[in-house]
Structure 1
């Protein structure tokens, strides 16, 4: 016989009567009993709720109604916990934000209404954020972020890794002859030790005799040469990159084409005590060009012609990939020697003679602004980025990245500016001592790291802008880095309206000169019209020396800046005419214009750049007119042509010379530089050009080296790219940057095994940026501030000291990087991580998130916070949600939905009696007779069902 335990029904009766609370303070499932035994009030998302619906309140919030208003949150149960009121108030705020986002997602919303919605949403986000931060609950804990057992950064500082990997240089097998290794291949490797002893090892592949120059044989030859030099650990190795499976879509079906051939590269396995420097006996000028390749509107793209010798690697890009990313940013390198012998590398699509490589730039680079070669043979690049780049996250929608590449096209380091909202890099200059200056525009919070304007101390200033500047409008910035890429100082300066820095240059004494433009008057200056130009001078430590605003009544455009001693010549386009001014800054506080010159109409063209060469000014660009420069050494061919001109620094006409270059159609210059006594220009063309191949695609790129004095073309090249459309964006030339090292994929100069360990260099964190830690949940928060010389270790120590060692802060290894990790001191403690205030939040730059950090324990099968406190809930809601784009609207709706779900979960747990210290109650007394009779009947029924078994 199976007996029915009558205590089950007894418990059921007691639960029905509302008189039982389960042990641990959790109400019996399904009961309407809440915390403290009081019935839970109706939630605003319930169909029974009488609270106003968010859609009904939409108009009121658009005209200023608060999103967060506890006074308007009514509870329909007397004596209910205030936790409910706070949850409902918060939920109402999120629901209103969701309604705004849904309205913004409606295609029928007008631009004017969308602007009002966006403004109201920003206001609502601020209200909700402040409410979450300031609200204390009695029976639960809530954070903007998440709840986890540790906070480990996703962004790290690179470890010193003594290895170097080239790009693939061969496709096939490791035992067959490699085309790149044929011919005269000679180079040297210098090995320097910490004791300052060094030795140079010379390599000449002809020493291999008749042995095939395969990957395996060449690497063995290199290692055998090193082995004969006692005591060195550095060795070369063959790196195999297995071929990937190739597929093609046929009538909607994926068809396999087999695997692509394996590719091979050279790897250097070095030693941290051995510094390697590579050189070659024979060199020629190397031309570096960056370009945007592809049709930005692929829907209208038809298949473009490709150059001869097409390989399977050219066809490897699928249509899906083209749709996914219509344009790509690329870096190209050309040899310019008379006997150019660059060999096509695996996967180099649209290759032309003399091209050493064509590599895609790191993910996140949206536009390259300019490039400059450094004295060490490296290439410095200034780019705008719209996402994570080279392992660094950005804080806002866009930032500026200073990137250093070696001569083989590998990234040496990346330095993001650290703008909180958006920034654009427009100018780059490298000084003779290796210092780097960048300039552009920045919007939002930006902690300048230099001397505050008008001050002499070195305390960082958040917005070192002109008095009265509008922080919502773009301001000019300038930043100076040392040769290791570590920021030395930066300044932000602006007018009341828009302004930007477009040119930057070093003086011989380390001074920095910035040319830019502004819509309004800068402090102490007078506006002449729509857009004026300005010239600013800083000393070597970042102190502002002078500001001069100038221009015509119309819209002016700065075009160039050159410095010679205490004289600065600026070039602008005013009213369509090219004008030059020579400023004498002998007294830096009172610049004086000593000479001017008008070159006449630019004829629908542009100035690609202005620089110095041999004491003269070099101007290059494109024009459809005859410029007012005498001594034409190469005639114009008509339409819009490229030009390069030489002008005396004093702006007199005595040293004039100009050479034009172009074909029958329009040829537009986009960038220029001077090197090896020539002017190097790149741009776009759609027609035939002198001495070049026929048209390759729809819009081709071209590069030319002009000798202004003779008008001769020293070198020229035409090239195409993805979809037959390319747009060159910058050009830089290293007079000795091309050599036999290119054939092996090795760089000229020193191999960089290590990088700066500063947090401000390895991440987008800036000096003055902050985050907060609450050592005890609900307690006061302590602020952690980033300093210019902070490493991960000093930052961890700073966290320990600031929190009185109540938390654990360590630096942990993760692959080739080291990362910051924050944890509770023990299983019974917890902490909360919060962002910095006032536009100085550094969490995203460090790869950390807001939220609770706690350990969990299991008690009677229930997982609870180890500190013994109330349950923790994380909204997982970024503070920077916005409705600025269709993509952001979708993201916002997803995040709001998740956050509202978290609040509903908290309500259900609260309703179920999730409250510590509630004591189990025992109900005593006689069970009613009717219930005893029911139990007897149930038992009798069971007996009959079981047949008396």
Structure 2
């Protein structure tokens, strides 16, 4: 514990200024009188013209709802021309403070209503939007306010800033899934002992293959025994070192590691200069399902799910993997129950203010500031589609309202994410698209080079540049290692969305969706909403061709596939009917054939799959007579899933059969795939298939259908939380289940490295920028370029002024970050970039000012009381942080505390503008030496005793 008044055994004394105790005692006596209501405010003569501050005005007695409704009707929280602001007269500093005080009281009313336990989460949604609007307007006002003696900061005051995100670190080893839940030396579960797999190691272009036959391991096959056996095989291949000594050629080694709370896992290390690939001698197919789960309740959020089903080639599949994940919101400190009272004024105001003053002092002096990282709450996240590459890696696309991996969500709502997993569910990498506005990812495809293509819609822009407003289709291409290769937005006057994507044999990208207008010259728009198909260059993303189809009604292309002959198949909903048509790949306007399958009965088209000349359409229908060809099974009532087989004869086609999949409750199929003469579908059900009990309000399910006859092979119901569960996408993997998955690993080349630059690892786009001003000079633009590391970016920042600014790349636990500091007594201000081109948010920075230490912690009066010397004003930070919200009761309470602190900071800043006659008198009467008068010594002792009681009672000083 640190004593503010002297030193005790084992503690440190901090002598901030040379004051005798008589002056300090009188100072605190004056402070106590002020806190308890005695009129010790500076006299009007000290303030200049008579000023009645806004906080001295009569209290607003209107109800909380009335005050919030007034705020809702305002265009802005900020009004520099209000009656309250006019109280300041011509004083620029006071005017800014009065304007902010009014904005904070408005924000406080909204926060109070959101923090009320009787306010529902549904009602908090609009309040949260209002809060974010207010905070944004307040931040903009603080950044641009014209001030004289004050420096105001939206966040905390500091002599440096550091990006809130790092670029991550390449792994030195791969850690598999924890497979041993028991003792470390127990036999590996699920291992028979005759399994065989191969470890292939490549170094300097030369590959050696090591066959690992588990039957060669003597004794129980434990993780340790397996790792030792693999390593004994690897070291048999040798080379000569520089001294001519025989040494192992490869550094790769297998090991065993404890995974906190999960058990033990295999590891593979020594991969920096070597590529390690794994393959099993015997592989079995699996299905991967992507979807979402949500508990029952108004405050429940959706989380994305990834499920692996093994044994799909038999009649009884098993759920081998179930991963649930979500993006995260900004850090929010938990509001303890005991902290609710200060926010509502129910505790002793004097004690609480003293506590806060001591806490602020500790914060400003950076004493004991270390704390555990705040919790980051999970936020709304869902998966929309899944695909498997040629090695067996699994890719999932969806949308999240939060941050993911190293990337900060810069959107106005949800952003598109792409994640890569191995077959055991281990995350390899994650990316956010970096959309401005709100974006949704609907579809996913993988080309012949294992590049990954994502398609969806964005209400804004995907690269910071947008010519026309409204919702647009977008396509983005990533390498298998996670590098963004290109992005394309169909930025036209039309409102459009891309709902499906595939890749042709040449590697060009085909997308399908709907549009309310033309996409290119030459298109003919039928009216209302038309379906569309577009072709993009696989190399650059340039639009090569588009076509619209439809009449005056509503048409939507729901899925797209490449036929066996290379032409294009499109499944669409057209005024409530399901239609499959085949387009000439060389001329999209040439329809080779079309099959109308009838009225969907308020149902939908879920997906399209092709195997040879067989085309399979799946979805949901409320029409018992839906489809064509032979009827397989019967419609169960309500909405049922369906699969229709269409035989493609090249220039013509006909429906072979229609199979219904469902229960007596509501059912629907969301996606379909085909392999080996079988059709696999995934969706959701409100009923129960066969002997599978339903665990939630709805469950996800998968089913296997004979692709020739339409007969049902099996159904598998997949529950989760006792709420809502659904599968949105399905993918077939030929090597999803093997000895490797039993070992917590997966087939393919292990990936440990990624491109660690700014535009790859964050949501910053090449061309995004921010501004820096030095010593109140002109704003200078700092632009992020393609391939920038933080080191390169820091070098360009330093060239703005070698004398006054220091930017550097620093190493942290989160990887490399950018730090900007002041030099030689300078003051630096950071400004956001313009519009969608702002880089600060994606870097985890905010518009702010940074100051030299002599201004932050020097002899100039900074404690918020009226200045006692010639220096007036000072630096005041309101300590707002990114992610403040009113979306939950706890978040609103935390916000309310921040707003109350900001209001107090406004008052402190105002008092700093005027000389305090009492302090001046005390200063003039103080002497450098001499005894403390008995009365003041007694008062000082009382303060020391009071602080001791606060400490003993669990106060803020520990």
Bin of the TM-score, shorter chain as denominator length: 0.7 to 0.9
Kindly report which structure 2 residues correspond to 1:438-587, keeping only aligned pairs within 5 A, or say none.
438-444=454-460, 446-448=461-463, 462-465=465-468, 469-470=469-470, 474-493=471-490, 499-519=496-516, 528=526, 530-540=528-538, 541-563=540-562, 567-584=567-584, 586=586
Match of 1:422 among 416, 431, 438: 438
Match of 2:211 in 1: 202
Match of 1:383 in 2: 398
- TM superposition shift of 1:279: 0.5
Match of 2:902 in 1: 899
The structure-2 alpha-carbon separation of the partners of 1:338 and 1:109, relative to structure 1 and needing over 3 Å to count, comes to: closer
Q: Under a length normalisation based on structure 1, what TM-score does the superposition of the two structures give?
A: 0.76
The structure-2 alpha-carbon separation of the partners of 1:35 and 1:852, relative to structure 1 and needing over 3 Å to count, comes to: farther
The structure-2 alpha-carbon separation of the partners of 1:430 and 1:912, relative to structure 1 and needing over 3 Å to count, comes to: farther
Cα deviations across residues 404-442 of structure 1 (Å, max 9, x unaligned)?
111221111111011233211111111112232212222
Q: Which runs of 5+ in 1 are unaligned?
A: 1-6, 16-28, 244-261, 299-323, 341-351, 449-460, 924-935, 939-949
- TM superposition shift of 1:360: 2.3
Q: d(CA) in 2 for partners of 1:87 and 1:896?
A: 14
Match of 1:264 in 2: 264
Cα deviations across residues 463-487 of structure 1 (Å, max 9, x unaligned)?
144xxx34xxx33222222333222
Q: Is the 8 A contact 2:77 2:106 kept in 1?
A: no
The structure-2 alpha-carbon separation of the partners of 1:658 and 1:433, relative to structure 1 and needing over 3 Å to count, comes to: farther
The structure-2 alpha-carbon separation of the partners of 1:884 and 1:861, relative to structure 1 and needing over 3 Å to count, comes to: closer
Kindly report which structure 2 residues correspond to 1:198-347, keeping only aligned pairs within 5 A, or say none.
198-209=207-218, 211-229=219-237, 230-241=248-259, 263-293=263-293, 295-297=295-297, 328-336=303-311
Cα deviations across residues 68-104 of structure 1 (Å, max 9, x unaligned)?
23485567788x7432223223323443454566678
- TM superposition shift of 1:34: 9.2
Cα deviations across residues 302-353 of structure 1 (Å, max 9, x unaligned)?
xxxxxxxxxxxxxxxxxxxxxx86764332222236689xxxxxxxxxxx96
Match of 1:763 in 2: 762
The 3-state SS of whatever aligns with 2:722 is helix
Size of the alignment, in residue pairs?
A: 818
Q: d(CA) in 1 for partners of 2:781 and 2:78?
A: 29
Match of 1:783 in 2: 781
The structure-2 alpha-carbon separation of the partners of 1:476 and 1:326, relative to structure 1 and needing over 3 Å to count, comes to: closer
The 3-state SS of whatever aligns with 1:223 is helix
Cα deviations across residues 643-666 of structure 1 (Å, max 9, x unaligned)?
252331746235x43362536635
Match of 1:258 in 2: none
Q: Is the 8 A contact 2:692 2:716 kept in 1?
A: no
Q: Does 1:359 align with 2:323?
A: yes
Match of 2:596 in 1: 598
The structure-2 alpha-carbon separation of the partners of 1:629 and 1:464, relative to structure 1 and needing over 3 Å to count, comes to: farther
Match of 2:184 among 167, 174, 183: 174
Q: Is the 8 A contact 1:774 1:832 kept in 2?
A: yes
The 3-state SS of whatever aligns with 1:790 is coil
Kindly report which structure 2 residues correspond to 1:59-74, keeping only aligned pairs within 5 A, or say none.
62=73, 67-70=78-81, 72=83
Match of 2:836 in 1: 839
Q: d(CA) in 1 for partners of 2:608 and 2:764?
A: 33
More off after superposition, 435-444 vs 365-374:
435-444
Match of 2:615 in 1: 617
The 3-state SS of whatever aligns with 1:899 is helix
- TM superposition shift of 1:203: 1.0
Match of 2:55 in 1: 45
- TM superposition shift of 1:188: 1.0
The 3-state SS of whatever aligns with 1:721 is coil
Cα deviations across residues 758-789 of structure 1 (Å, max 9, x unaligned)?
3222112223322222222x222222222332
- TM superposition shift of 1:794: 2.3
Q: Is the 8 A contact 1:551 1:574 kept in 2?
A: yes
Q: d(CA) in 2 for partners of 1:780 and 1:39?
A: 34
Match of 1:720 in 2: 719
Q: Does 1:647 align with 2:650?
A: no
Q: d(CA) in 2 for partners of 1:512 and 1:285?
A: 27
Q: d(CA) in 2 for partners of 1:279 and 1:110?
A: 53
Q: d(CA) in 2 for partners of 1:629 and 1:150?
A: 70
- TM superposition shift of 1:49: 10
Q: Is the 8 A contact 1:330 1:360 kept in 2?
A: yes
- TM superposition shift of 1:831: 1.7
Q: Which runs of 5+ in 2 are unaligned?
A: 1-18, 28-38, 238-247, 329-379, 865-870, 926-932, 936-958
More off after superposition, 288-297 vs 396-405:
288-297
- TM superposition shift of 1:385: 0.9
Q: d(CA) in 2 for partners of 1:728 and 1:90?
A: 49
Q: d(CA) in 1 for partners of 2:114 and 2:741?
A: 53
Q: d(CA) in 2 for partners of 1:96 and 1:724?
A: 38
The structure-2 alpha-carbon separation of the partners of 1:290 and 1:586, relative to structure 1 and needing over 3 Å to count, comes to: closer
Match of 1:683 in 2: 683
- TM superposition shift of 1:370: 0.4
Q: Is the 8 A contact 1:32 1:39 kept in 2?
A: no
The structure-2 alpha-carbon separation of the partners of 1:240 and 1:549, relative to structure 1 and needing over 3 Å to count, comes to: same
The structure-2 alpha-carbon separation of the partners of 1:123 and 1:390, relative to structure 1 and needing over 3 Å to count, comes to: closer
The structure-2 alpha-carbon separation of the partners of 1:48 and 1:294, relative to structure 1 and needing over 3 Å to count, comes to: closer
The 3-state SS of whatever aligns with 1:157 is coil
Q: d(CA) in 1 for partners of 2:486 and 2:602?
A: 39
Match of 1:255 in 2: none
The 3-state SS of whatever aligns with 1:911 is coil
Q: Is the 8 A contact 2:618 2:641 kept in 1?
A: no
Q: Is the 8 A contact 2:668 2:683 kept in 1?
A: yes
Q: d(CA) in 1 for partners of 2:680 and 2:387?
A: 13
The structure-2 alpha-carbon separation of the partners of 1:888 and 1:154, relative to structure 1 and needing over 3 Å to count, comes to: same
Q: Is the 8 A contact 1:290 1:731 kept in 2?
A: yes
- TM superposition shift of 1:384: 1.0
Q: Is the 8 A contact 2:766 2:786 kept in 1?
A: yes
Q: d(CA) in 2 for partners of 1:133 and 1:820?
A: 22
Q: d(CA) in 2 for partners of 1:159 and 1:147?
A: 30
Match of 2:159 in 1: 149
Q: Is the 8 A contact 2:408 2:842 kept in 1?
A: yes
- TM superposition shift of 1:212: 1.5
Q: d(CA) in 2 for partners of 1:330 and 1:58?
A: 40
The 3-state SS of whatever aligns with 1:191 is strand
Q: Is the 8 A contact 1:487 1:761 kept in 2?
A: yes
Q: Is the 8 A contact 2:595 2:653 kept in 1?
A: no
Q: Is the 8 A contact 1:782 1:803 kept in 2?
A: no
Q: d(CA) in 2 for partners of 1:207 and 1:566?
A: 49
- TM superposition shift of 1:376: 2.5
Cα deviations across residues 372-394 of structure 1 (Å, max 9, x unaligned)?
11122211110111212234221
- TM superposition shift of 1:614: 2.2
Match of 1:796 among 773, 794, 797: 794
The structure-2 alpha-carbon separation of the partners of 1:108 and 1:722, relative to structure 1 and needing over 3 Å to count, comes to: closer
Cα deviations across residues 194-217 of structure 1 (Å, max 9, x unaligned)?
x212211111111123x1122333
Q: Is the 8 A contact 1:644 1:706 kept in 2?
A: no
The structure-2 alpha-carbon separation of the partners of 1:282 and 1:115, relative to structure 1 and needing over 3 Å to count, comes to: closer
- Report the aligned-residue RMSD: 4.5
Match of 1:873 among 876, 888, 894: 876
Q: Is the 8 A contact 1:673 1:681 kept in 2?
A: yes
Match of 1:669 in 2: 669
Q: Is the 8 A contact 1:33 1:39 kept in 2?
A: no
- TM superposition shift of 1:502: 0.9
- TM superposition shift of 1:838: 0.9
More off after superposition, 409-418 vs 673-682:
673-682
Q: Under a length normalisation based on structure 2, what TM-score does the superposition of the two structures give?
A: 0.75
